[in-house]
Structure 1
Amino acid sequence: MEKIKLLAITHHSKKNINPIRPEAAQIIGLHNSGMVDVTVLCNPGSTLIPHLEKEGITVLTDPLNKKLSRSTISHIRRLIKELNIDILHLFNNIACSNGATAAIGTKVKVIAYRGQTGNVSRFDPSSYLVMLHPRLNKIICVAKAIEKDLHQYLWGDKSRATTVYKGHDQSWYQSNPASLEELSLNKDSFKLSMVANLRPRKGLDVFMDALSILPKDLNLDVLLVGADPKNPKIQEMLERSTISSRVHALGYREDAPEVAAASDVIILPTTKREGLCRAVLEANSYGVPAIVSDTGGNAELVSDGQTGIVVPPSDPEALATAIMKLYKDRNLCSEYGIKSKQRTIEKFNVRQGVERTLEIYQSLLR
């Protein structure tokens, strides 16, 4: 059987390999399947490059720094024709707007990646450069909630949107938990962690308000990865918790998964527009359960009452109640962690992502 000729287009900064592990693993898995001839186009200096080249994958570069670039569009169009590409797989918005436009007038099948709910409108012209681009044959969503959300905006065939869960590999999560010796943590404290920033939809304010509701004599420590301790707005947010001495803003760290591994529970209180949160999958892979809000793909990550707890979004009282439940019952917390790790292995592995993507490629070409 002749191999499928794939051109995958993506863009990544030089920081932190962790966010791109599932994407790189998928591309490498397609290459290693023996059924796909993979070429990757990415930005110069992308952290993907050494990982892909090590596997023998052809990597080409383009700045990929504009939503619509005449030179990038010409470059992609030339590659489609010269390499006789069957599938054009576009992994972010810049790749989508340029790649789908370059595909106009060619026979190549075009697939876009969709990682979160919301931010699409039939009345917004910019949406027709990405998720509503008329040249897209398929949109691969990372969660069923995202697929369902996208259905309300798509014209015509709604089945163009489908779901493929990103795959994680247990071999990525064998490091020791992060050393927290530099922090003044209470002895045997119950540790809550969150990958935090100040974007309102991430729900840091909801978390801080939940902390303010909890009894003040709890032996708690809170670890906020990504929260800049020098930022006055972060300091204001910490004061909002009413236990600011126990809330530790750790700033940017490359060992975010290992910080989660050193925690008892990870918190994800997103208020809207969530995808399939990598931080939760990383924590679960270390056997750490999560408390998440019921938005986007969160409820697909966590089986409520089995592997963690799902609470309503923007509800500090419900979040505080969930924290207390696991604080009071450490055996239940540990049980959730064990089950969450097993669920990640079974449901969110690399193999299922590669196999499902191959099925989509083959169905388009049929």
Structure 2
Amino acid sequence: MDSMKNKIKLLAVTHHDKKNINPIRPEASQIIGLHRSGEVDVLVLCNPGSILIPYFEKEGIEVLTDPLEKKLSISTVLNIRKLIKNRDVDVLHLFNNIACSNGATAAIGTRCKVIAYRGQTGNVSRWDPSCYLVMLHPRLNKIICVAKAVENDLRKYLWGDKSRATTVYKGHDQSWYQNESADLSDLPIHDDSFKISLVANLRPRKGLHVLMDALALMPEGINIDVLLVGADSNNEKIKEMIQRSTIPKRVHAMGYREDAPEVAAASDVIILPTTKREGLCRAVLEANSYGVPAIVSDTGGNAELVENGISGIVVEPGNPKELADAIVQLYKDRAQCKEFGVNAKRRAVTKFNVEQGVDATIKIYKELTK
């Protein structure tokens, strides 16, 4: 019998306009891992400008393109529907909201099983009609959540079978994290300082204000430097935030950086003070993969990433005092900080590797298509 007939025929639909591979490596590695497994016949549909195309084609994965620009496009729906029927697709895996709204609609009346991806908590309501184009779309057979907290949150809103929501951790490959630490020589870093990094933007839920308020509570004379990746030093709101810290000369807005993992590698600890709607933070896994521990707030999947008191510290969301105490704890006990880093790397390797994500996904495919 032809081995191709035994394979699960997968159409993976994804859309990315990012020019930096770092944010989408886990997704690409999962699709490539499915292809390499020998159990899945993979076809990818993505936008023409996707940075992922050469990565897939290098692996021998067939890639087709569609603009994938609108939440609901008749031409995109018809294109996906045609592919489902002509390629006899068993599983339609939709990796973001644009893919979901168009793909799940295209699958209506077909035999294929439909899977969506869910990356964070919150922002779902049974009373919001737009949610029925994505996470509450009646055509979805399964929703793969990036963390257990995301799964539990989504189940509160699903109609009918709650088990349609399940968890598969995104996989990271340690080969991605072999670069030298970022060169910080262009920054006015203080000698022998304790370096803290945060991937920061102005969205309030990311908790930049919480960190700035925590810095204002630091003991006088503490020798720290704070690296804000993604924060524009010319932005007036960022300037105001930095002044709010009361130690502005020790807070460095670094702007957009494609080497954010390497900046984390140059740090002693990274901070994720999110106040709500978190998933499974890539920045934490990147830092952990370099042996750098994290202090995170207990929201979304953060507490699944960090084992409190063993591989890092978990604090209450929106609590500057608790965050400040955690920073000071690791500042004063560098041996404990390094031990947390060793444990964090071990946790990243054993619990959040590519293989576990691919294996879990194939298991879901087989359960749906048996």
| TM exceeding 0.5 | yes
Aligned position for 1:92: 96
Cα deviations by residue, 1:241-266 (Å, 9 ceiling, x for unpaired): 00011100000000000000000000
Aligned position for 1:233: 237
Distance 1:44 1:316 in 2: 44
Q: Which amino acid aligns with 2:110?
A: T
Q: Within the alignment, does 1:20 sit opposite 2:27 as a pair?
A: no
Please report how far the alpha carbon of residue 215 of structure 1 lies from its aligned counterpart in structure 2 after TM superposition. Answer: 1.3
Q: Which amino acid aligns with 2:190?
A: N
Cα deviations by residue, 1:133-156 (Å, 9 ceiling, x for unpaired): 000000000000000001100000
Match of 1:61 among 59, 65, 86: 65
Match of 2:83 among 70, 73, 79: 79
Q: How does 1:250-289 map to 2 (within 5 A)?
A: 250-289=254-293
Distance 1:8 1:144 in 2: 23
Please report how far the alpha carbon of residue 329 of structure 1 lies from its aligned counterpart in structure 2 after TM superposition. Answer: 0.1
Please report how far the alpha carbon of residue 216 of structure 1 lies from its aligned counterpart in structure 2 after TM superposition. Answer: 2.8
Distance 1:74 1:97 in 2: 13
Aligned position for 1:196: 200
Distance 2:193 2:175 in 1: 29
SS at match of 2:253: strand
Match of 1:337 among 326, 336, 341: 341
Cα deviations by residue, 1:177-199 (Å, 9 ceiling, x for unpaired): 00000001001100000000000
Q: Within the alignment, does 1:120 sit opposite 2:143 as a pair?
A: no
Match of 1:321 among 313, 325, 333: 325
Distance 1:161 1:326 in 2: 37
Q: Would you say the 8 A contact 1:14–1:45 is kept in 2?
A: no
Q: Which amino acid aligns with 2:82?
A: R
Q: Within the alignment, does 1:179 sit opposite 2:183 as a pair?
A: yes
Please report how far the alpha carbon of residue 322 of structure 1 lies from its aligned counterpart in structure 2 after TM superposition. Answer: 0.2
* Percent of residue pairs bearing the same amino acid type: 75
Aligned position for 2:352: 348
Cα deviations by residue, 1:81-117 (Å, 9 ceiling, x for unpaired): 1111000000000000000000000001000000000
Distance 2:220 2:338 in 1: 24
Q: Would you say the 8 A contact 1:114–1:140 is kept in 2?
A: yes
TM-score by length of 2: 0.98
Q: Within the alignment, does 1:9 sit opposite 2:10 as a pair?
A: no
Q: Which amino acid aligns with 2:252?
A: H
Q: Within the alignment, does 1:111 sit opposite 2:115 as a pair?
A: yes
Aligned position for 1:134: 138
Q: Which amino acid aligns with 1:277?
A: C
Given the superposition, is the C-alpha separation of residues 333 and 230 from structure 1 closer, same or farther in structure 2, using an over 3 Å criterion? Answer: same
Distance 1:313 1:81 in 2: 47
Q: How does 1:198-217 map to 2 (within 5 A)?
A: 198-217=202-221
Q: Would you say the 8 A contact 1:216–1:243 is kept in 2?
A: no
Please report how far the alpha carbon of residue 13 of structure 1 lies from its aligned counterpart in structure 2 after TM superposition. Answer: 1.1
Aligned position for 1:145: 149
Aligned position for 1:222: 226
Q: Which amino acid aligns with 1:196?
A: A
Aligned position for 2:297: 293
Distance 2:18 2:155 in 1: 34
Q: Which amino acid aligns with 1:141?
A: C
Distance 1:168 1:16 in 2: 16
Cα deviations by residue, 1:187-232 (Å, 9 ceiling, x for unpaired): 1100000000000000000000000000130110000000011100
Match of 2:46 among 27, 36, 42: 42
Aligned position for 2:248: 244
SS at match of 1:182: coil
Distance 1:323 1:104 in 2: 52
SS at match of 1:213: coil
Distance 2:18 2:322 in 1: 38
Distance 1:47 1:228 in 2: 25
Distance 1:352 1:9 in 2: 21
Q: Would you say the 8 A contact 1:42–1:62 is kept in 2?
A: yes
Match of 1:32 among 29, 36, 40: 36
Aligned position for 2:313: 309
SS at match of 2:216: helix
Match of 1:70 among 58, 68, 74: 74
Distance 1:241 1:57 in 2: 49
